[in-house]
Amino acid sequence: MVLALQWQEDAQTIRLLDQTLLPVEERYLDVDTVDTLVAAIQSLAVRGAPALGAVGALGVVVAMRQAESEGWGDERLQSEVDRIRLARPTAVNLAWGVDQVRAAMPSGPETVLKMAKAVVEEDEAANRTLSRLGADWILDRTGKQQVRVVTHCNTGALATSAWGTAYGIIHELHDRGALEVVYVDETRPLLQGARLTSWELTRDGIPHLLEVDGAASSTIVRGLVDVAIIGADRITANGDTANKVGSLALALACQRAGIPFVVAAPSSTVDLATAHGDDIAIEERDAAEVLSLGGHPTALPSTPVYNPAFDVTPHDLINAIVTDRGVVEPAARPDPNLLASVAS
Ligand code: MRU
């Protein structure tokens, strides 16, 4: 399995697979400063909510080591840790990962590192658990021996510490012989589906078809798939879910087609402090991402752009939220505090 991130014991650095270069090149970045980490997060060299949680936790160690070597006082160190925590706004896991270890900073970097490694290990374990629960739920709900799936963005090993969330369920279905095919949305503008998910599916030998984002609703309404499975960047107390822009369109089409729309995420993605989706900060990214493709202009450079990176699917369109702590069914059982039973 490919690993998006690894702690390098000798160098005390985070090794990241630079996802901006995939699938053309497999090159690694060694992160030993807060500046490098923040740049890697903001450029999407490392991305995906659970992976951001892991680098958030490990990033505190990087900041502490840099503080030692550059003689920062505590105030500077805390503000550098805040820079990591706030590098991207939508995925709650980034702040969660930092917060998991921050209180241990007075005990020194070795203690923080131990806790950060636990965050990484627990993410993989959570993903494997939720994948089994999700596959069970989908096979039970559809009543099918084999299912056809549509997915959006990248939720695989690249987006997590290991294994994947929505992708993990797809992998689990495949391992059980219960997967026919996956339709993979290419995921404009940064093509996480085309560049990353289809790359992972190819490596894992899982049958798939890459489609443009605009095809997805028709794929669903025409009956070409049995279920949509996506990941999440933040799930509020009532089940409203932020994920890669384009996810909402899938949910609306699933409702029309009468097929289940499933969200998969570790409990670290649940944000009980946010009551509903209207309160989620949606990251808006640079116009350049929309004005060009692979370095080639696709519109006049002066064209005004709206580039939200995420959208929010309301809970009533979500049939199941699958976490490592269990499955909840927001559409069937609306409740303002539905996620309390599966939060971390
Ligand atoms: O902008 P990205 O690539 O970080 O967006 C990622 C997604 O939207 C994923 O679907 C989400 O983080 C879940 S990853 C398991």
Longest dimension (CA), the chain: 62
Q: Give the whole-angstrom CA distance, residue 23 versus residue 196.
A: 7
Helix-, strand-, coil-residue percentages of the chain, each rounded to 5: 45, 20, 35
Catalytic machinery residues: 233
Q: Is the omega angle on the peptide bond into residue 266 within 30 degrees of 0, that is, cis?
A: no
For ligand 1, whether the C-beta of 160 sits within 6 Å is yes
Ligand 1 centroid to residue 267 C-alpha, Å: 15
User: Three-state SS for 344?
Assistant: coil
pLDDT tens digits, 35-65: 999 999 999 999 999 999 999 999 999 999 9
0.95 exceeded by the pTM? yes
Residues 300, 246, 160, CA angle at the centre, nearest 5°?
110
Domains of the chain: 5-122 (1.20.120.420), 131-342 (3.40.50.10470)
- pLDDT in the model for residue 294: 84
Residue 321: name the closest of 330, 309, 313 by CA.
330
For residue 152, which atom of ligand 1 is closest to its CA? 10
- pLDDT in the model for residue 1: 85
pLDDT tens digits, 184-227: 999 999 999 999 999 999 999 999 999 999 999 999 999 999 99
Which of 170, 243, 284 has the most ligand 1 atoms within 8 A of CB, as the residue to mutate?
243
Show Cβ contacts of residue 219 under 8 Å, excluding neighbours closer than 6 positions: 150, 183, 211, 225
Q: Give the whole-angstrom CA distance, residue 150 versus residue 213.
A: 11
Query: How do strand 234-236 and strand 241-244 relate by DSSP bridges?
Result: antiparallel
Which band of pLDDT confidence, cut at 50, 70 and 90, is reported for residue 115? very high
Token pair recorded at residue 208: 């798939």
User: Three-state SS for 325?
Assistant: coil
For ligand 1, whether the C-beta of 94 sits within 6 Å is no
HEC assignment per residue over 263-286 = EECCHHHEECCCCCHHHCCCCECC
Ligand 1 centroid to residue 75 C-alpha, Å: 32
- pLDDT in the model for residue 324: 98
Show Cβ contacts of residue 71 under 8 Å, excluding neighbours closer than 6 positions: none
